[in-house]
Amino acid sequence: MDYFDFKNGELYCEDCRVLDIEKEVGTPFYLYSAKTLERHFKAYEDALHGIPHLVCFAVKANSNLAVLRFLGELGAGADIVSGGELFRALKAGISPSRIVYSGVGKTGEEIKEALNSGVLMFNVESTGELEKIGEVSRTIGKAAPISFRVNPDVDPKTHPYISTGLEENKFGLPVDEARRAYEYASRNEEFLIRGISCHIGSQLTEVSPFVDALKRVLSLVDELEKKGIKIEYLDMGGGLGIKYDNESPPLPEEYVKALKTTIGSRDLKLILEPGRSICGNAGILVTKVLYKKKTPKKAFLVVDAAMNDLARPSLYKAFHEIVPVVEQDAKMSTFDVVGPICETGDFFARSRSLPEVNPGDLLAIRSAGAYGFTMSSNYNSRPRVAEVMVYGDKFKVVRRRETFDDLIRGETFFHE
């Protein structure tokens, strides 16, 4: 459920009229509902009640400082994959003791910064990374808290670009290699073994792949326990899907119940790292129709947002519902909804049935709160759009629209 609703034929975000926000902000802009973020985060917290746990929001899904601060105040930690995300999480006030550092390509400088900051643990993804962490640990004289990310070779049944738990993917260690890595780390004082990690992909709409992966991870946990290697944290990552179109993803309650049943009586603290399922349906991208164009074979709605603002349709052929901000009684027609960028792949929808809107009308691209602004760019020298957050009947620009001066910040001429 989200808090984007039509009232008297006009789209509202909570108690704010989208048309009023557009008059002040202009288009395009991302619009986030704080109450939706709160509702979705609390769905995890309620499901996990009575279980030792930590919910670490996946910063890569939406890294806006206002979003991170809001979730942090609700009790969220952070799942990060870069030094920049560590910087953002700390700036947002999230305690480093609630930050888990994942990702396959941590640099020595990033490891040093995270170790000095006091993150909860590194999810180690290769033996080469383990060596680098050990090197940094010895240099600064501080033991590194670690967890190994295990690749369980489980098919998550999702888009191949966001599948992460198969042997062919770049993520994690195969079970046998992870076993050897744990044994090695247990013999070296520069490492402090904290947990075990597993993340098999994103936008999963079934519980069974999570359970299959968990069973394989728990087998290793039991084996390590017998060798005297104690695992404190079980990090199952994120990946729970949302409804974009006709999907029926499980609710957090169903997901957590399956995990709890599988874990049984083992003494483990559960870490979950949801991103999309918290913020995906908490955001929309508002754009203005610039032109209607018809060819002998196609009809197009040309809008002022583009693939640089929301890459998912172009990158994954992903579906996003598109609705007029003001409900229309006009007849329905079939359009391609496209942006101004000089790429045929610059589209938000193809052959989509929509009302006969006109230039100047606003459209809302729904379910855009995750992997929207975070994946945006300045392609075609387009300034990135504004981000706005609503809580109740108040809204605030939480990231201003970039200017042309922002586009060239840091650039210089060769002969100067």
Q: Which amino acid is it at 87?
A: F
Is beta strand 269-272 parallel, antiparallel or unpaired with respect to 53-58?
parallel
Between CA 362 and CA 225 the distance in angstroms is 58
**Cα distance between residue 24 and residue 124, in whole Å:** 46
- Cα–Cα distance for residue pair 62/76, rounded to 1 Å: 14
Q: Which long-range contacts (CB under 8 A, 24 or more apart) does 84-87 make?
A: 85/59, 85/60, 86/110, 86/113, 86/114, 86/117, 86/119
- Spot the catalytic one: 13, 56, 279, 342: 342
Closest CA to 218 of 239, 197, 238, 187: 197
* β-pair type (173-174, 144-151): parallel
3-state helix, strand, coil in the chain (%, to 5): 35, 25, 40
Residues annotated within a binding site: 239, 273-276, 312, 316, 343, 371
Positive or negative: CA dihedral 103, 105, 110, 112: positive
Whether 13 sits among the annotated catalytic residues: the reply is: no
- Rounded to an integer, what distance in angstroms lies between the CA atom of residue 162 and that of residue 150? 17
- Measured distance CA(98)–CA(186) in Å, rounded: 23
Rounded distance, CA 308 to CA 382, Å? 8
From residue 390, alpha-carbon distances to 93, 288, 369, 387 in Å are 20, 20, 13, 10
Annotated binding site for pyridoxal 5'-phosphate: 239, 273-276, 371
Which tokens go with 143? Answer: 């033991």
Q: Which residue numbers belong to the known binding site for substrate? A: 276, 312, 316, 343, 371
What is the secondary structure of 283-317 as a DSSP string?
EEEEEEEEEEEE-SS-EEEEES--TTT--HHHHH-
- How many other C-beta atoms are found inside a 10 Å radius of the C-beta of residue 283? 29
Of 169, 246, 225, 178, nearest to 202 by C-alpha is: 169
Q: Which residues pair with 173 in a beta bridge?
A: 150
Catalytic residues: 342
